[in-house]
Amino acid sequence: MITIKDMADMLGTSTTTVSNVIHGKTSEVSQKTVERVEKLLEEYDYVPNNSARTLTQNCSKIIGVALKSRKEQYDNILADPFFSELIGAIEAEIRSRGYYMMIYTSNDLTELIRNILTWNVDGLLLLGILHDDFVRIKSRYKKPVVLIDSYAPRDIMNYVNVGLEDERGAFEMTSYLLEKGHRRIAFLADNMEGVDYTRYVGHQKAMAKYGLKADEKDLLIIRSGMMERESSLEELYYLSRNYTAFMCCSDYHAVVLMSYFSDRGVRIPEDLSFTGFDDVLLARIVRPALTTVRQNITQKGCLAVDTLLKMIQEEDQPKWDVKLPVEIVVRDSVKTISSYGSHEHIEMKTE
């Protein structure tokens, strides 16, 4: 690894001159010197030491990306295609903009904060973080932060969020199910805060539009590890008798349940309809293909990075809250129920 000083010595010039050439401050250097320096630069393929640069400039060119899973615990959050697609998009965008990405999937907030500070990251992208955590981070970290899919009380703290029309997405999906004649709809969520809560609100509103009330007992919370535990799946299977449709807050859940249920003899969508959220690769591949709420994951990742870089470069004040559009994608996992009153599904199960 050749350094600026090495080259300066070789050329019999000062480090300043070499540094100036490197940074294109060529107006202050004679043409001849420029050429000599550039020749060396090429010859030795000079690469700057970023630690040294960071130290003097107090800017690291690192973007920190922190994920907390929607579930309480995840053994491997990247196994969820929503997150892996999003991270993939973010990484590509960060790189193409000349920055570096450092990623943390830990749920340990203290460790996360230490990482951010120790590397002096220039900006932070926070996925699925809750309000309290955000406040704690903000109290220690003063550089730009962009949230993705966060719902914090706006009045308490200024923040920039790249989100989704979660409420509208759920509203339209539930409306669609209701149009198709479904009345006994289970709503599956990971928790009752942030994204999932907002989607539930949309669900409730659609129900209300039809003069129905979303009952709390129809709200099924998928706790950590449930999707991997046979007993939990079994329980959901028994509960499924009460419904004609499962409306899920993520494609992943929908698809896992569809598999399990169909192995148990449930015909989809004849016996039970399914809808998802996100329109992940999985949703397109599975059969019956999943009717779901599409979001453009790549766009979301790129927009978040773009917004963060704008803040870092102080180009302009970004919008504090963006809600990316959603779109219902009708595929084959929802049945049309002709007569509203008959709970065909239930009768079949309780034969």
Task: Give backbone dihedrals phi and psi of 37, rounded to 5 degrees, phi first.
Answer: -65, -45
Q: If we measure between CA atoms, which residue out of 278, 70, 303, 107 comes closest to residue 189?
A: 70
Pick what 89 binds: a copy of itself, DNA, none; C-beta below 5 to 8 Å, kind-dependent.
Answer: a copy of itself
CB of 36 to DNA, least distance (A): 9
CA angle 146, 199, 68 (to 5 degrees): 40
The Cα-based distances of 163 to 3, 13, 107, 128, 341 in angstroms read 44, 53, 21, 10, 38
Beta bridge partners of 275: 247, 291
* DSSP conformation letters of 33-47: HHHHHHHHHHHHT--
52 binds DNA (CB under 7 A): yes
Instruction: Take residue 62 and report the two structure tokens written for it.
Output: 């690192």
CB of 61 to a copy of itself, least distance (A): 9
Q: Which is nearer to a copy of itself, 59 or 346 (CB)?
A: 59
How far apart CA 60 and CA 169 sit, in angstroms, is 38
Pick what 22 binds: DNA, a copy of itself, none; C-beta below 5 to 8 Å, kind-dependent.
Answer: DNA
Pick what 30 binds: a copy of itself, DNA, none; C-beta below 5 to 8 Å, kind-dependent.
Answer: DNA
- Using a 10 angstrom Cβ sphere, with 0-12 exposed, 13-18 middle and 19 or more buried, the burial of residue 310 is middle
Helices (H) and strands (E) in the chain, counts: 14, 12
Cβ(209)–Cβ(175) below 8 Å: yes
Identified binder of DNA from the candidate list 9, 43, 49, 238, rule CB under 7 A? 49
Identified binder of DNA from the candidate list 10, 22, 109, 329, rule CB under 7 A? 22
Pick what 15 binds: a copy of itself, DNA, none; C-beta below 5 to 8 Å, kind-dependent.
Answer: DNA
Pick what 3 binds: a copy of itself, DNA, none; C-beta below 5 to 8 Å, kind-dependent.
Answer: DNA
Identified binder of DNA from the candidate list 15, 105, 115, 224, rule CB under 7 A? 15
Q: If we measure between CA atoms, which residue out of 171, 196, 148 comes closest to residue 308?
A: 148
4 binds DNA (CB under 7 A): yes
60 binds DNA (CB under 7 A): no
27 binds DNA (CB under 7 A): yes
Q: Which is nearer to DNA, 14 or 96 (CB)?
A: 14
Which residues are at the interface with a copy of itself (CB under 8 A)? 1, 45, 47-52, 54-55, 60, 76-79, 81, 84-85, 87-89, 91-92, 95, 100-106, 114-115, 117-120, 140, 255-256, 259, 262-263, 281-282, 284-287, 289, 298
Q: Which is nearer to DNA, 53 or 319 (CB)?
A: 53
Task: Give backbone dihedrals phi and psi of 230, rounded to 5 degrees, phi first.
Answer: -55, -45
* Binding-site ranges for DNA (CB under 7 A): 1, 3-5, 12-17, 19-20, 22-23, 27-30, 32-33, 48-49, 52-53, 55-58
